[in-house]
Structure 1
């Protein structure tokens, strides 16, 4: 009985520590100005593989962090000079069940492959504006085939 109580207490303490650390990490990152944005981490099943997260815009990079992670670093760091918009679309199929109607999915290509990002239409406008606002001489916002 005592052993079971100790195991239960350790489990509760572990969950509490995880939640506190996740909250502290989120609070620290939110001070940098974050935007809610999901990223598709897997394409094994159609419409699946999305992870909630948030992005932090820097001068020439977008850093995407998983929402529920203890990692301090971003999962993706996308360079504006290497990022090309392949297409924009509304959620379809299973995606329409997990995302609200005001979400837009943007598929981007970069030297490391492809990434799909889901965000509200206003966040998508901000994302596209950030791409277009590249300084003179840098790469510019491109859509469609290269």
Structure 2
């Protein structure tokens, strides 16, 4: 057997590069499907105090809302909001400079309680589910107030 020619090496290297570039894309798709199989997943951007907007998805899981970055490989949530520590303070349309960073049609939700200073942006139907989730709770749990 002889040494492979230049074209064979080039094709092999290009093929490996394409496979290496596609692995993260397939992982992101598989991750989203995995998340959706374990609870309702919806688009939800997050703004931490002192930081900019980050695109993400969230899912309700028992007494928690788990938030994941869209372009992350981790299966663990980046932030977890606990139901009894989270309240909706105010809902508003995005400001003009925010609108460019968010999904179309999303509204901004200002959180209170232990999560004061955090902002979530989501579609109106998801806001309805989120508001209901924050106001509801297990029997005997702390009472929640509604947003203003």
Structure 1 length normalisation: TM-score?
0.80
Cα distance in 1 between the residues matched to 2:16 and 2:49? 33
Larger Rg: 2
Instruction: Kindly report the root-mean-square deviation, in angstroms, between the aligned alpha carbons of the 2 structures.
Output: 2.7
Q: Indicate whether 1:134 and 2:137 are aligned.
A: yes
List aligned pairs for 1:1-146, cutoff 5 A: 8-32=14-38, 33-41=40-48, 43-44=50-51, 49-99=52-102, 102-111=105-114, 114-142=117-145
Cα distance in 2 between the residues matched to 1:5 and 1:116? 48
Structure 2 length normalisation: TM-score?
0.79
| Residue ranges of structure 1 left out of the alignment (5+ in a row) | none
1:42 Cα offset (Å) = 6.6
Q: Is the 8 A contact 1:82 1:111 kept in 2?
A: yes
Q: Is the 8 A contact 1:131 1:140 kept in 2?
A: no
Cα 1:23/1:122, change in 2 over 3 Å: same
